């Protein structure tokens, strides 16, 4: 699992690459939290184009980060999910919290 990020004009762009499951959840969560604490952003874009697998633990990681950022009034969106990840996020209702966008 790789967690990459870049900050540009008040927006934090995060990219999750690999598999987001129980074995990678703590690492992913800590990497995301570290990036969130490093910048003063108004929006976070989570790019899932290189995420090949996600289970319910991965969904929990995304929702947990959403809740923390919502407390700070920071918008979170999901970008470029693969077809299989898109299906998981649609069925789980994640898009009702974090809308899907194309970047």
CATH number for 2-101 (one of 3.30.750.24, 2.40.50.100, 3.30.420.40, 3.40.50.300): it is: 3.30.750.24
Report the side by side order of strands in the sheet with 43-54. Answer: 2-8, 11-20, 43-54, 75-79, 100-101
**Could you tell me the residue ranges of all domains in the chain?**
2-101
Q: Which tops the pLDDT comparison, 70 or 102?
A: 70
At 17 the pLDDT is: 98
At 102 the pLDDT is: 84
Residue 26 DSSP label: H
Half-sphere exposure of 13 (CA within 13 A, CB side): 11
pLDDT in tens, 40-99: 999 999 999 999 999 999 999 999 999 999 999 999 999 999 999 999 999 999 999 999
At 57 the pLDDT is: 97
Q: For 12-29, what is the mean pLDDT? A: 97
103 pLDDT band (50/70/90 cuts)? confident
């Amino acid at each position: 699992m790789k967690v990459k990020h870049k900050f540009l004009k008040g927006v934090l762009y995060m990219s999750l690459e690999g598999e987001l499951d129980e074995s990678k959840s703590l690492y992913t969560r800590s990497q995301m939290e570290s990036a969130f604490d490093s910048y003063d952003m108004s929006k976070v874009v989570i790019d899932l184009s290189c995420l090949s697998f996600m289970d319910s633990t991965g969904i929990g990681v995304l929702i947990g980060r959403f809740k923390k950022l919502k407390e700070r009034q920071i918008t979170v969106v999901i970008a470029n999910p693969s077809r299989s990840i898109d299906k998981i996020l649609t069925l789980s209702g994640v898009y009702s919290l974090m809308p899907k966008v194309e970047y």
